[in-house]
Structure 1
Amino acid sequence: MSTASAAHEVLAVVFQVQPQQARKPQLSVLLWERAMEPQRGAWSLPGGQLRHDEDMTSSVRRQLAEKVDLRELTHLEQLAVFSEPSRVPGPRTIASTFLGLIPSPATPELPGDTRWHPMSALPLMAFDHRPMINHAHARLVAKMSYTNIGFALAPKEFTLTTLRDIYAATLGHQVDPTNLQRVLARRGVITPTGTTARSGRSGGRPAALYRFTDST
């Protein structure tokens, strides 16, 4: 079957680093539960069919806004094409995936069938959506090492401890805040704001606040 006769869908892998009670923050992905067959009850990436009158980026933004009321993306980029002929039941459907990021302070209101799932405990996934998530995560991890993409997961201003937690949650291993500061400062990615965070209940010296130099 030719590509011209195939349907085309766009799917978004949206990540956010979320706090966990009595645990370190975790990288989570946004999923919605299928209410109809095929694979009713399995979890899917948000998205849907590409319209004839829209480009793929406009389509994925529209569908995130319409279907899961998500409008707070700080980063969105196209990733890969999944074109296995039998990837979904029925007519052949080609999928283009996108990587989306939301900063950790954001708390978008989600429909009842949509929720965040930690990368470390993904539920039963529909079709080929788990490989899509793994591919997007690998892309994010790689870009954390050579770009300033961390700005899209972090607050506008942050302590080094907060930034360490975001990097550790994303990369999946412990990160030393001093080394992180040294590397990012040498690359010109972060800069001190000249202000400090509020002291916690335990008191102590207020931590310095930083920001990303830019978000491009």
Structure 2
Amino acid sequence: MGGEVARYRHEALAVILQVRDYSFGPALAVLAWRRRRPPFAGDWALPSGPVGPSEAIGASVRRLLAAKVDLGEIAHLEQLRTLSAPDRDPSQRTIATAYLGLVPATSRPDLPDHAEWLPIDRLPTMAFDHAYVVDEGVARMRAKLSYTNIAFALAPEEFTLAELRDIYAGALDQDVAVTNLQRILLRRGQLAPTEGYAEPGEHGGRPARLYRFTTRELEITDPFAVLRPSR
């Protein structure tokens, strides 16, 4: 069959996650900004923008974040899904390709006054289908924590085991034991001790050894974890 090819607006959409320290403890947060115009004026939304005519979608995400929120330190970026429901944008037909990005816990980019890091377990009303996309991004990241080394993207270059425990606890929203974490990650070859030590705390004591991830690129380190049935 012949006919005219449909043309739609195509945007890049970013779910950027970071573990941050709050008064209630470390918690996973997502980068969002408050919309200033309809539709959904006043609601929170994920960073998004049109894909340029001469750029790949992944490059569009990085350009968007670097330009609009001064976020250049994305340690990991992967495609999440394509959203194509005809009514997802009430103003015009818009297809979105969503990406998941992870930022180290120590990164503190300058944000405009309409942007914030929002704890994912306390999300306000979000525009469009963005709350659903956040849920999917969090689920993807948490699943990969069980069988890959993706935590490297949430951690600084060097860290103590206690600091890494806090990152895992915030990312998973559950308690994590330092000894179990150390045993599992060393057995999988994800961690290596450095020659350095952290500065002593205010109460003194022995300085804690600093560790690093053996690689800062995504690797599957326990393929069988994906296949284990839930109990």
Do Structure 1 and Structure 2 share a fold, with TM-score over 0.5?
A: yes
Residue in 1 that maps onto 2:27: 26
The answer (yes or no) to whether the contact 2:75–2:104 under 8 Å persists in 1 is yes
Question: 2:91 & 2:7 partners in 1: Cα distance?
Answer: 13
Mark the CA change 1:40 to 1:192 in structure 2 (over 3 Å): closer, same or farther: same
Matched with 1:59 is: 60
Aligned equivalents of 1:204, 1:132: Cα separation in 2: 44
Q: Structure 2: how far apart are the matches of 1:91 and 1:201?
A: 57
Read off the aligned partner of 1:39 and give its amino acid letter. Answer: F
Give the aligned CA root-mean-square deviation in angstroms.
1.3
Could you state the TM-score of these two structures normalised by the residue count of structure 2? 0.90
Instruction: Specify the code of the residue in structure 2 equivalent to 1:18.
Output: R
Shift of 1:195: 2.4
| Partner SS for 1:57 | helix
- C-alpha distance in 1 between matches for 2:28 and 2:206: 29
Task: Report matched runs for 1:161-200 at 5 Å.
Answer: 161-200=162-201
Instruction: State the AA in 1 paired with 2:136.
Output: H
Q: Does 1:17 align with 2:19?
A: yes
Distance 1:35 1:113 in 2: 9
Q: Deviations over 1:62-103 (max 9, x none)?
A: 111111121111111111011111111132111110111111
Q: Name stretches of at least 5 consecutive residues in structure 1 with no aligned partner.
A: none
**For residue 124 of structure 1, what is the aligned residue in structure 2?**
125
Long gaps (5+) in structure 2: 218-231
The runs of at least 4 consecutive aligned structure 1 residues that moved more than 4 Å come to: none
Q: Indicate the SS of the match to 1:99.
A: strand
Matched residue of 2:200: which SS?
coil
Distance 1:143 1:3 in 2: 38
Provide TM-score, normalisation by structure 1: 0.96
Q: How far did 1:173 drift?
A: 0.8
Q: Distance in 1 between matches of 2:109 and 2:73?
A: 8
**Whole-Å Cα distance in 2 between the matches of residues 26 and 186 of structure 1?**
26
Contact 2:39/2:91, CA 8 A, preserved across alignment: no
Aligned to 1:42: 43
Deviation of residue 3 (structure 1)?
7.9
Aligned-pair CA distance for 1:25: 1.0
How much has 1:187 moved relative to structure 2? Answer: 0.4
Deviations 1:27-58 (A, max 9, x none): 11000000001110000000211121111011
